[in-house]
């Protein structure tokens, strides 16, 4: 009888391997925390395949959203499909799993619907949602939904920490559009707004994304100090008062700081 790692077993497994899939996986495996973005030349050197072969693999993966080409610098990074896949894995050790206890605590303390989001492929992608006990209810397709990068409190918070050239590029590609009568659509005023968010460390919005809803969002940083996500709460306008606003800002910024700390960020 042969063991699981015997030469016979290995040969049996290898005969079912598909070369094209192995090559595609080698491209995906080239990315890491240290190598989040790679150029075609860098990938070619790392993988050891010809440039035309790597380019064809990248094009195929890009068409299925496994790979994203950043138009700003011409480099590749992992695509949004991985966020959807990660959200389906129970017990994941990613950002969602790290943030979940803090999101629950924030929900319990504010009684609000809590959202976790990040920017990927030039869109605001929702990583998690925890419903509050109040009347605010958001779509259940949260893990699949994509909004413009500037949408609502989460989008404005995330854009506030991008390079100015990246902000301009996103606004050129996805112009500001009204979602409610109070949505900020003036570009210059929007740039001032995200500058204020970066200065004070949180976003406060009133019915700019959804009628009858106000909210607060704050940035989440990784060990290197980069803003990698944002956490926010959505509440009905009927709860809006100076005292409640102050309490909510304190709760949301504390939650963001706690998640950042768990990710290794130190002030």
Mean per-residue pLDDT for 83-93?
50
**Sign of the C-alpha dihedral, residues 187, 193, 199, 205?**
negative
Angle in degrees, CA 210, 207, 145, rounded to 5: 30
Q: Is the pLDDT of residue 17 over 70?
A: no
Mean per-residue pLDDT for 175-195?
95
The pLDDT, as a whole number, for residue 128 is 85
Q: Is the pLDDT of residue 246 over 90?
A: yes
The pLDDT, as a whole number, for residue 55 is 94
Q: Is the pLDDT of residue 244 over 90?
A: yes
Q: Is the pLDDT of residue 50 over 50?
A: yes
pTM of the model: 0.67
Mean per-residue pLDDT for 186-195?
97
What domains are there in the chain, each with its CATH number? Answer: 7-79 (1.10.10.10), 82-262 (3.30.450.40)
How big is the chain, counted in residues? 267
Lowest mean pLDDT among 122-126, 176-180, 229-233: 122-126
The pLDDT, as a whole number, for residue 14 is 52
Q: Cβ of 71: how many Cβ atoms within 10 Å?
A: 10
Mean per-residue pLDDT for 134-147?
56
Residue 198: what are its φ and ψ, rounded to 5°? -65, -35
Instruction: Please tell me what DSSP assigns to residue 37.
Output: S
Comparing CA positions, the residue from 209, 210, 223, 219 lying closest to residue 263 is: 223
Q: Is the pLDDT of residue 256 over 90?
A: yes
Q: Is the pLDDT of residue 172 over 80?
A: yes
Instruction: Provide CB contacts within 8 A for 190, sequence distance 6+.
Output: 150, 156, 171, 176, 184
Average pLDDT, whole number, for the chain? 85
Return the higher-pLDDT residue of 169 and 82.
169
């Amino acid at each position: 009888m042969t063991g699981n790692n015997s030469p016979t077993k290995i040969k049996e497994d290898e005969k079912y391997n598909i070369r094209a899939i192995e090559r595609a996986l080698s491209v995906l495996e080239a990315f890491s925390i240290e190598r989040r973005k790679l150029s075609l030349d860098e990938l070619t050197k790392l993988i050891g395949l010809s440039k035309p072969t790597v380019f064809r693999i990248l094009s195929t993966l890009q068409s299925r959203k496994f790979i994203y080409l950043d138009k700003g610098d011409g480099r590749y990074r992992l695509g949004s499909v991985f966020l959807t896949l990660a959200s389906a894995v129970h017990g994941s050790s990613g950002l969602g799993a790290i943030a979940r206890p803090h999101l629950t605590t924030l929900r319990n303390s504010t009684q609000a619907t809590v959202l976790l989001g990040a920017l990927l492929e030039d869109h605001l992608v929702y990583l998690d949602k925890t419903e509050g006990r109040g009347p605010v209810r958001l779509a259940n397709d949260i893990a699949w939904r994509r909004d413009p990068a500037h949408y609502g409190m989460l989008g404005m918070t995330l854009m506030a920490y991008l390079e100015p050239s990246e902000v301009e590029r996103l606004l050129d590609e996805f112009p500001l559009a009204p979602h409610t009568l109070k949505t900020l659509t003036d570009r210059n005023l929007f740039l001032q707004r995200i500058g204020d968010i970066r200065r004070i460390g949180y976003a406060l919005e009133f019915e700019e994304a959804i009628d009858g809803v106000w909210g607060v969002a704050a940035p989440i940083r990784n060990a290197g100090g980069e803003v990698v996500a944002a956490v926010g709460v959505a509440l009905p306008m009927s709860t809006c008062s100076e005292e409640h606003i102050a309490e909510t800002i304190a709760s949301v910024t504390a939650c963001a700081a706690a998640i950042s700390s768990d990710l290794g960020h130190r002030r």
